[in-house]
Structure 1
């Protein structure tokens, strides 16, 4: 391994030349877009769950951060995460592993960029490497944090589901925001992943791990000083897996105004203490695949 790849948290990659502010839409992949940007980190104790492996929300935060860097270097414009496609978690990553993330632009439009991210784990003692997660993100160019959208207080009251709703609140402090003053997308993903884990654990009453993220949509920014109000509910149960839907609303403390900002669906799998999937107890009288 090259020495520069060992620098923790370093971003390594070839320079990207500036581009025009409003390029014509294209679905082709240029030689510049094929170049990968790398980010290296280590799984520290504060990033692992109670199984001793990298928390799914932390992994998503890492991947979103790299996607932001890739999109910004490509466009040289302020970018925010608009959505993520399916995120697949293939292998758990134990504490102490080195993680290397690689990201590249796979498609670019007039205001949006699609970024593909892969996360590989490496055992520093043996050199063994495995791809642990893959994801696609769509980022869009903005002029600033943007004006809040119309009030939208969609909740789980009208949504079918199984079991109770898990509610959580987080305060958005300056350390949670990007340079636009709005909640960093990776932090939002970490909070959504935590809410999904709690909801699935309550439903199964056994340890769970994140297997995939089906889709995450960012509808509006959450601004510094607002409350992030999260609600999570299991909406489908398979044999050993559960699908959890999570809504994140922003709430202004002084006015009480709320708006839907982020919505995601996660696949959580129940595991035994040997780390293998185990059956999930089925709700009485029903089973949703």
Structure 2
């Protein structure tokens, strides 16, 4: 088993038929939900406190994710301020039976740690 960096989180799961929209592939909104979940896990793990999404931007959808794909969402903290964290996310997917996953989308997410006083 490989060692994971403390500033990185990778979520892995199968894209379900219920994730598919009218286009026949996974909806962009669903991909953004996955991105937010992975970035949240990275932010909370790093800050050890509750965090909220402040910004999602520079999203680039290179290729669609298909139902039945093994999906990997990697969230890596690339910059920290006093309470904010910039997190680069990469969504990859491919055949669950093996092979190298293909990058499908990437973006930057900024989370802010929320203190006890809110």
What's the counterpart of residue 174 of structure 1? none
2:87 aligned to which of 96, 115, 132: 115
Residue 82 (1) aligns with residue 54 (2): yes
In structure 1, the partner of 2:113 is: 141
1:62-211 alignment runs, 5 A limit: 62-125=34-97, 127-143=99-115
Quote the offset at 1:143 in angstroms. Answer: 3.3
Residue equivalent to 1:249: none
SS in 2 for 1:77: coil
Shift of 1:42: 0.9
Between the aligned partners of 1:143 and 1:135, the Cα distance in structure 2 is 26
Structural RMSD (CA)? 2.2
Shift of 1:52: 2.3
Moved over 3 A (4+): none
- In the TM superposition, residue 141 of structure 1 has moved relative to its aligned partner by 1.2
Q: Which runs of 5+ in 1 are unaligned?
A: 5-11, 17-32, 147-289
2:65 and 2:84 map into 1 onto residues whose CA distance is 31
Q: Report which of the two has the higher share of strand.
A: 2
- Larger RCO, structures 1/2 (Cα 8 Å, 6+ apart): 2
* TM-score of the aligned structures, taking structure 1 as reference length: 0.38
The alpha-carbon deviation at position 125 of structure 1 amounts to 3.6
The alpha-carbon deviation at position 128 of structure 1 amounts to: 4.3
Gaps of 5+ in 2: none
Instruction: State how far apart, in whole Å, the 2-side matches of 1:125 and 1:111 are.
Output: 41
**In structure 1, what is the equivalent of residue 21 of structure 2?**
49
CA distance in structure 2 between the aligned counterparts of 1:13 and 1:52, rounded to whole angstroms: 34
Q: 1:41 to 1:126 in 2, by over 3 A?
A: closer
1:126: how far off? 5.1
Taking structure 2 as the reference length, the TM-score comes to 0.89
Q: Distance in 2 between matches of 1:142 and 1:60?
A: 22
